[in-house]
Amino acid sequence: MGEESSKSKGLCGWFLVLVIAALIAVAIVITVKKKTHHSEPKLGPVPGPPGAVEKKYGDALKLATQFFDIQKAGKLVDNTISWRGDSALDDGSEAGLDLSKGMYDAGDHMKFGFPLAFTGTVLSWAILEYGDQMQTVNQLNTARNSLKWITDYLINAHSSANVLYVQVGVPEVDHKCWDRPEAMTEKRPLTQVNTTSPGTDVAAETAAAMASASLVFKLSNSTYASLLLKHAQELFTFADKHRGSYSESIPEVQNYYNSTGYGDELLWAASWLYHATGDQSYIDYVTGKNGKDFANWGSPTWFSWDNKLAGTQVLLSRISFFGSEAANSESLLNYRKTAAAVMCGLLPKSPTVTTSRTDGGLIWVSQWNSLQHPVASAFLAVLYSDYMLTSRTSKLSCNGDSFGPSDLRDFAISQADYVLGNNPLKMSYLVGYGDKYPEYVHHRGASIPVDAKTGCNGWTWLNSTNPNPNVANGALVGGPFLNETFIDSRNNSMQTEPTTYNSALIVGLLSGLVTTSSVVRSFT
């Protein structure tokens, strides 16, 4: 009896051990699955034509495109902004040029060619990728018209093969006035780059704007598109042959739009010229010595008016996603690999996620104009997501963890929603959207009543404690600090000043989210 009992107890003990071991094994499997739940991302069906409109993004997009109209200089056509009128009609006259068009940079009256050209490039990209989605809320023609207002100016600013006018006005003079653009009287001299004062960065960015815009207008206005492409090719040759930073040639710009290098603009421009022409020499350009010198493969960067590398990487990844003959180049694949690294850094659950974000989840890189980087990153993310979905690419690998297109789209949505009010302050940073948005936007035209007679010295309106009399609908202001505070004050230009290039980025992002459709496999 004692021996049998002993055996029974032994068997029970071993049974318990086996049960416990099995439970531990199951727990380990569950834990591993939880940690690697992205290992088998689901790939949804390829969207067809644009689907149902997401109303909040549609409403926001309609507002965002309005800010381009607010920023327009020159003799306005079909003006819908009641408090704006003709302005800067004599810009360029000292050189016998018509530089009246273009757009003011921010809340001031400067025309800075470097960020303005970037605005044109990004707006072109948005139209090329998401024009059909813009059309679902009747914003495609609005976007095209705004783009042409920019490119008309850029064409005239490129007065000869090796001369590009890159600035109208002097910031130190302009910023000593607070007046409406329609009534400004301050002098507006011109600044140029040329063979003796080179500006590779600004010339190449302008080439990128014209090359990308040529694709936008290729079907609707082929003559204009050809003119744009001619200027783009001339400017690229000028930029490449006469290398030098415009910040060194024109030291005064360092306090405003200082360029940290021109290699990224050369690669960016060549990439757009490849898409515009199909000329293999541009692929050779970005994959050869220039790629090795400037591409910084393997090192993710932030996309902005100053640094185009992340944009270039995503743009060139298009080629490998959609199977062009050029896609087999190892160097070209390096651009896609680096684009993937950029994407991995954005995803909150990625092992390589960047810590550059607020507690509320907003990408945060700079206290000045803090919304530029999250909106730019989200725009690239929704593009990359759609490239994956359209090409039937199910996985993005981030140090062994796998993510799908929906993860990138979710990230883009999180940034857009934060901008539109899903943030600790419950405030929309897009003026005119929602019930709570900035009312003291740092913007001269918005802050001064139409019938006010200020001359240069309208400082009363800058310092007024009343909200702006004119609402700058669609303006994307600078944004919150890292601690997610925001001071709505006209004198707080760091946070309340909108920029035209921010508008291009938010238009691109909202156009990608307003509905779903497959992206085109080729721009031509």
The catalytic residue among 86, 152, 484, 488 is 488
Structure tokens at 360: 């509320």
Among 302, 206, 339, which residue's Cα sits nearest to residue 262? 206
Return the ∠ at Cα 522 (arms to 404 and 329), rounded to 5°. 75
Task: Say if residues 510 and 131 touch (Cβ distance below 8 Å).
Answer: no
- Return left, alpha or beta for 92; rule: phi > 0 is left, psi -120 to 50 is alpha, else beta: left
* Number of other residues whose CB lies within 10 A of the CB of residue 466: 10
Query: Helix 140-157 to helix 200-216 angle, to the nearest 10 degrees?
Result: 140
346 secondary structure, DSSP code: H
- What is the Cα–Cα distance from 250 to 200, expressed in whole angstroms? 12
Task: Say if residues 365 and 492 touch (Cβ distance below 8 Å).
Answer: no
DSSP reduced 3-state for 74: strand
**Letter for the amino acid at 400?**
G
Task: Say if residues 144 and 87 touch (Cβ distance below 8 Å).
Answer: no
At residue 107, φ and ψ (nearest 5 deg) are -90, 0
Per the annotation, the verdict on 293 as an active-site residue is no
The catalytic residue among 105, 108, 129, 401 is 108
Q: Residues 6 or more apart from 350 whose CB is under 8 A from it?
A: 344, 398, 399, 401, 403
Task: Say if residues 143 and 507 touch (Cβ distance below 8 Å).
Answer: yes
The catalytic residue among 38, 109, 275, 442 is 442
Per the annotation, the verdict on 182 as an active-site residue is no
| Residue 501 CA to its chain's centroid (Å) | 7
Task: Say if residues 149 and 84 touch (Cβ distance below 8 Å).
Answer: no
Give the CA distances from residue 273 to residues 15, 232, 240, 500, in Å, rounded to whole numbers and listed in that order: 71, 8, 13, 24
- What is the Cα–Cα distance from 25 to 407, expressed in whole angstroms? 29
Residues in the chain: 524
* Burial bucket for residue 406 (CB in 10 Å: 0-12, 13-18, 19+): middle
DSSP reduced 3-state for 178: strand
Per the annotation, the verdict on 40 as an active-site residue is no
DSSP per residue, 259-280: -S-SHHHHHHHHHHHHHHH--H
At residue 311, φ and ψ (nearest 5 deg) are -65, -40
Per the annotation, the verdict on 38 as an active-site residue is no
Q: Which residues pair with 357 in a beta bridge?
A: 363
- What is the Cα–Cα distance from 252 to 192, expressed in whole angstroms? 12
| Residue 450 CA to its chain's centroid (Å) | 32
The catalytic residue among 59, 179, 264, 497 is 497
Catalytically annotated residues: 108, 442, 488, 497
